[in-house]
Each structure stands twice: as structure tokens, then as C-alpha cells.
Copies of this chain bind each other. A is one copy, B any other.
Amino acid sequence: MIPNNMIWADDNPEMALTKPVRVGNSLTVGGQDVILMTGPCSVESYDQTRTVAQEVARLGGRVLRGGAYKPRTSPYSFQGLGREGLEILRAVADEFDLLVVTEALGVEQLPLVAEYTDIIQIGSRNMQHYPLLWAAGEFDKPVLLKRGFMSTVDEWLKAAEHISSRGNDRIVLCERGIRSFETATRNTLDTNAIALIKQTSPYPILADPSHATGRADLVFAAARAAVAAGADGLLVEFHNNPAEALSDADQALPLAALARFRDEVGKVAQAVGRGIR
């Protein structure tokens, strides 16, 4: 399976297949720098989102993450602020000159979400919802395609082809943990998959250590591992008050930890010859 002339990729820099993807006018994912995309799981209010965005910007971050439409296992959980959430995201991002990544749950929301966001996120549960992939393939915006939590790398790359087959190849993949038999953690971060994507796919690959662990106390370690394995960026949940978060309270890091997080991840990025933004 492994060609004779490619005993190990680290010795073959020309093997680096990643083609950088442009986001907005001033950022590139999949290039020299590891890109941090941080923010709350859900946009809960203007004040909450602005507080987080301000800190993200102050520390040099470039991308704000946050959910306006939330896929929830139970129909009785908080489902997000919807359009109001999108408006809040855009407003605070513009105030602090940040880019936005947020999820579109379905085809019908796509035009609205695309109007407000810089990166269209497709969630793990929707990785094989083909109508959504096809619709996203018609937009001129980068698409962040999360891995289905029980999808193989091969199925994931084929899902990306469903998008690119419609004309949009500005695709960024995101490993967010897979489901295994282990129950001590919410998911299992598949660092092997990150390494494999770097060698077999042109798409940049991010990791989401928040969902991949489901535990705030493991997020630092998972983030470092992902970057060491070759991740081109991280999607991480930070909240100004994790204990009161309306979703994913167990896995959000406190905003006060963001500076230290950037510092620790930055050191690992440097160890593999990269910077962070």
C-alpha cells in the first residue's frame, strides 16, 4: 500500500499535498501558520459574544467560531438563536476585524448563513447529507466539513467530492473525534487521520479538541497532539462562563485560559516548524 519511495513522509517534503484555502481577503488555511478558530459553542447573547470576540482579537486571533443553529440530540434542548445569532456574530466580528465560521444545519438556511459567515460549517451529523453538500458546492465560500463521528477517512473524502463536484473546492476538513467503545471521553481524537489526510488529500485539515474530548481538562493536551500530528488549525470552544453555557458546558474552556492556550499550542506549532495565528 505504501510506495517504496515513500518510506516515511517526513523525509519527503514534496509529499505535502495540502493546497491552502483562502478565507476572506486576508487569511489562508493550510499554509505556514496554524489557524486558531475560537469562540463559544453557541451564540447566547450580544454581550457574551462580544466579550469573547474582544479577547480573541486582543490576543491576535483571526477567526471567531460560534453556533447560531445548533444540532441537538434532543428536540427539547436549546436550539440556538438562529438569525439573531448570525447578526450578533457578524456585528462583533466586524467590530474586531475577525472572520466568522458558523454552521448551516440545512439546505434552506444556507443562503442566510452564507450571507453572514466567512466559512460555512457542515456538522458531523450532516457529513453524508448530500443535498446539503451539493448546495454548499454552489457557493463561493469556503466550506468546513466536519468528519462524521463514525465515518471512515475514505467516506469523508468522498463527501468532500460531493461538494467539489458542484464547483466549490475551497474545502477545509475538520477531525472532531470519532465514536469508539471508550466511554471515559466523549469521542476519540483520531490523530492518525490527521496525519493521513496531510499525505493523501489536498484539503487543509483542522481539529476540534473540544468535541474530540468532551472534557475541558483534556482540551489542552488534545490540541497539542493535533498540531503535533500536522493539523492546519484548531476549532476550540471558549466561554466567558463555562459553568453557565447553554450547550457543551463540560468541554468549554474559560476565556481566561485563552492566552495560555495560544502560548502552549504555539510552542508545539513552532516545534513542527510553523507559527500560529
Contacts and interface: CB of A to CB of B under 8 A. Distances in A.
Interface of A: 1-2, 4, 6-11, 71-76, 105-109, 125-126, 128-132, 148-155, 158-159, 161-162, 165, 177-185, 187-196, 198-199, 212-213, 215-222, 224-230, 242-243, 250, 253-254, 257, 260, 264, 267-268, 270-272
Contact of A7 (B148, B198, B253): B253
B153 A150 contact: no
Given A107-B131, A268-B268, 11 more contacts: A9-B221, A71-B130, A149-B150, A150-B150, A180-B188, A181-B181, A182-B192, A184-B192, A188-B190, A191-B225, A225-B225
B212 A184 contact: no
A6 to B, nearest CB: 6
Nearest to A273: B267
A216 B2 contact: yes
Contacts of A268: 228, 268, 271-272
A2 B221 contact: no
A125 B131 contact: no
A153 B182 CA distance: 7
A129 B130 contact: no
Nearest to A148: B150
A2 B196 CA distance: 32
Contacts of A76: 161, 165
